[in-house]
Chains A and B, each alone.
Chain A
Amino acid sequence: MKFRGRAFKFGDNIDTDVIIPARYLTHTDPKVLASHCMEPLDSEFSKKVRPGDIIVAGSNFGCGSSREHAAIAILGLGIPLVIAKSFARIFYRNAFNKGLILLESDIYEHVKDGVEIEVDVREGLIKAGEKEFRAKPIPHFMIELVESGGLLNYLKKKLELGG
């Protein structure tokens, strides 16, 4: 799994209320949710970002509520990957369950907003221009989860097998 995209930087403790404000939670459509992603911090974000771009953040990304709409909103923009110093635990599970990849790496201080980043997920390698960074390895079964199309495809297969 390899990705290349521009970095969009956000700070520490980016909570799910700013990723997708509660007033939009009556919707489940990824396109609608995506159009309001990060709105309280940057109302133009959903217009600026292109599919393939990457969010780079500080510590505790995704803290707050359990709303899976947060992972759906990010994926709805075509963002495949978030790199942060650390992630809040419910968001961490939700993201992988939905197929959004999260990498733990402390690159926030070392890359500029808008620079192009290359990521090799299996190798845990991040390149930004001349600089190289290592990411904490993702548990093997989390990668399998993403590759099998998320938790619910796994469940679907399991049910088909009568498990």
Chain B
Amino acid sequence: MGMTITEKILAYHSGKEYVEPGEIVEVKIDLALANDITAPLSIEEFEKTGAKRVFDPQKIVFVLDHFTPSKDVQSAENCKRIKDFAKRMGIKHVYDGGVCGIEHALLPELGLVMPGDVVIGADSHTCTYGALGAFATGVGSSDLTFGMATGYLWFKVPESIKFLCYGKWNKWVSGKDLILHIIGMIGVDGALYSAMEFTGEAIYDLSIDSRFTVANMSVEAGAKNGIFPVDEVTLHYVKDKTVRGFKIFGSDPDAKYREVIEIDVGKIGLKVACPHLPSNVKDVEELRGVTLDQVVIGSCTNGRIEDLKIAAEIMKGKKVAEGLRCIIIPATPKIYLEALKRGYIQIFLEAGCVISPPTCGPCLGGHMGVLAKNEKALATTNRNFIGRMGHPESEVYLSGPAVASASAIMGRIAHPEEVL
């Protein structure tokens, strides 16, 4: 019996020839990640266990991206504590200040994640790295502590669901629209405990940035991981970033899937997830009456250069609607600099946008754009739960960068063709 890419990576990292769904395996970890919210708990626990050292200081990464630049005294204390711990343990991969970016955009950019890796992160969107053909999954602080101390963690091998995508992509439609379409179809627990494997001819046409977006939101369907095949697009992306070797895994033709879902991407238009679940998905055309107070373009989901390119194309020479705040957050310093070189930042400033340093900030109602009671936002982020971006009676709509930038101009949810 053949294996899926997820099963093969888990088998290889647990020293087995063969694994099957439901089996419990102890898996070797290539990289363990935490941020300024989850690392303090992990460190507190690590110290309580009496552990003296981490399993490998080179394989642990702390990215201080959520409430930074520190929004208050407590968050500053947390960052300081993380940096003190890293120094004691000899952990060099600590990203703060001018080298800090949003973790799931930053790590691939730095070449810290490679195809075939097993990555655990105390952040649910760790699944983003599946775009590179890695097994990557979010864990809590206790599991991370265990992984940091021992270098391995137990997992139940997940069943896989195959999303076989074919057809030609419509104009403006990106990875965000595909994943919102899928979550709308299967629901927020449609892939609970499972691996979501994205494949088919239309997937090979998808850019790496769009693949990151799709894998990123697989957790929003309840998945353990989202994963893509490794192809020329992947290899082109990693080739000048890696200083170490990697192993490429691929699904066997006779691999077993819980379900195969075929999707004609030519039938997917621009999508918006309405409050208060990422599965509450509608076509943008149905939502033109919804007025907005804030638009956010950024996050680990959609803060990459392709996203900013789309936004700049739509906003060029135009003004943000009066009374609306449009906040643009390049996900990493490198993306910020590239956007600056290409003239996107000037376009955004002239349009009246606020440019934020790389941070998760408003996505989780932390800072840099928190909503007041009854305010409505459209964001390229990943969650629209009750109170996610601020007041419990505020509302968040989710979309890709094309709809978000057109909506910022119109002051209401809009299709890009309305402003061009």
Contacts of A150 in B (CB 8 A): 142
> Given contacts A97-B143, A151-B146, are A60 and B222 in contact (CB under 8 A)?
yes
- Known A68-B142, A152-B142; judge A63-B188 contact (CB<8 A): yes
Closest to B392 in A: A40
Which residues of B in the span 154-196 have a Cβ within 8 Å of any Cβ on A? 188-189, 192-193
| Alpha-carbon gap, A156 to B46, bound state (A) | 9
Among A40, A88, A159, contact of B51 (Cβ-Cβ < 8 Å): A159
Q: Is the CB of B192 within 8 A of A60?
A: yes
The answer to whether A28 touches B51 (Cβ under 8 A) is no
Q: How near does chain A come to B369, taking the closest CB pair, in angstroms?
A: 13
Interface string of A49-93 (1 = CB under 8 A from B): 000000000011001111111011000000000000010111001
The answer to whether B51 and A155 touch across the interface, beta carbons within 8 angstroms, is yes
Q: Is A98 positioned at the interface, with any CB of B under 8 Å from its CB?
A: yes
Give Cα distance in the complex from A97 to B67, angstroms.
26
- Which B residues are CB-close (under 8 A) to A155? 49, 51, 145-146, 149-150
| CB pair B188 A60 closer than 8 Å | yes
Q: Complex: how many Å from CA A65 to CA B126?
A: 10
Number of A residues, CB within 8 Å of B: 42
A23–B86 Cα distance when bound, in Å, is: 25
CB distance from A93 to the nearest CB of B (A): 6
Min distance, Cβ A40 to any Cβ of chain B, angstroms = 4
Residues B143 and A93 in contact, CB atoms below 8 Å apart:
yes
CB-CB under 8 A from B386, the residues of chain A are: 15, 17-18, 40-41
* Interface contact A60-B385, CB-CB below 8 Å: no
What's the Cα separation between A155 and B144 when bound, in Å? 12
Residues of B with C-beta under 8 A to A65: 123-124, 364, 383
**A69→B41 contact, CB < 8 A:** yes
The docked-state distance in angstroms from the alpha carbon of A66 to that of B219 is 10
A90 and B146 contacting across the interface, CB-CB below 8 Å: no
Pair A13/B189 contact, Cβ less than 8 Å: yes
In B374-400, which residues have CB < 8 Å from any A CB?
A: 383, 385-388, 392
Q: Is the CB of A97 within 8 A of B74?
A: no
A31 to chain B, nearest CB (A): 15
B94-102, B108-116, B133-141: which lies at the interface: B133-141
* Interface assignment of A94: CB less than 8 Å from any CB of chain B: yes
Contact of B49 among A67, A88, A89, A152 (CB under 8 A): A152
Asked if B222 contacts A152 (CB within 8 A), the reply is no
B58 shortest CB reach to chain A, Å: 21
> A15 and B385: CB pair below 8 A?
yes
B357 CB to closest chain A CB (Å) equals 18
Q: Is the CB of A13 within 8 A of B188?
A: yes
Chain B residue nearest to A95 (CB atoms) is B140
Bound complex: CA A148 to CA B315 (Å)? 58
Q: How far is the CA of A17 from the CA of B381 in the complex (A)?
A: 14
Residues 306-349 of chain B: 1 if any A CB is under 8 Å from the residue's CB, otherwise 0?
00000000000000000000000000000000000000000000
What residues of chain B lie closer than 8 Å to A130, measured between beta carbons? Answer: none
Q: How far is the CB of B153 from chain A (nearest CB, A)?
A: 10
In the complex, which residue of chain A has the Cβ closest to the Cβ of B383?
A: A64
Any A CB within 8 A of the CB of B250:
no
Give the one of B66, B74, B188 with max A CB within 10 A: B188
A160 within 8 A of B: yes
With A17-B387, A152-B48 as contacts: A28 and B224 at CB distance below 8 Å: no
| Contact A17 B385, beta carbon cutoff 8 Å | yes
Across the interface, do B146 and A67 meet the contact criterion of CB distance under 8 Å?
Answer: no
Residue B128, interface by CB 8 Å = no
Q: How far is the CB of B137 from chain A (nearest CB, A)?
A: 8
- Cross-chain contact A60 with B140 (CB below 8 angstroms): no
> Per-residue CB proximity of B78-92 to A under 8 Å, as 1/0?
100000000000000
Interface string of B189-222 (1 = CB under 8 A from A): 1001100000000000000000000000001001
Chain B CB within 8 A of A112 CB? no
A25 within 8 Å of B (CB atoms): yes
Considering the complex, give the chain B residue whose CB is closest to the CB of A87.
B192
How far, in whole Å, are A151 and B48 apart by their CA atoms in the complex? 12
Which residue of B has the minimal Cβ distance to A154?
B146
Binding site for B on A (CB under 8 A): 13, 15, 17-18, 21-23, 25-28, 39-41, 59-60, 63-69, 71-72, 86, 88-90, 93-94, 97-98, 141, 150-152, 155-156, 158-160
- Please give 6 more A-B residue pairs, beta carbons under 8 A apart, in addition to A93-B143, A155-B149: A17-B386, A25-B37, A27-B74, A66-B124, A66-B126, A89-B192
- A-B contacts, 15 of them at CB < 8 A, read A15-B383, A15-B386, A22-B364, A25-B37, A68-B122, A86-B189, A88-B222, A90-B138, A93-B139, A94-B140, A97-B140, A151-B146, A155-B49, A155-B51, A155-B146
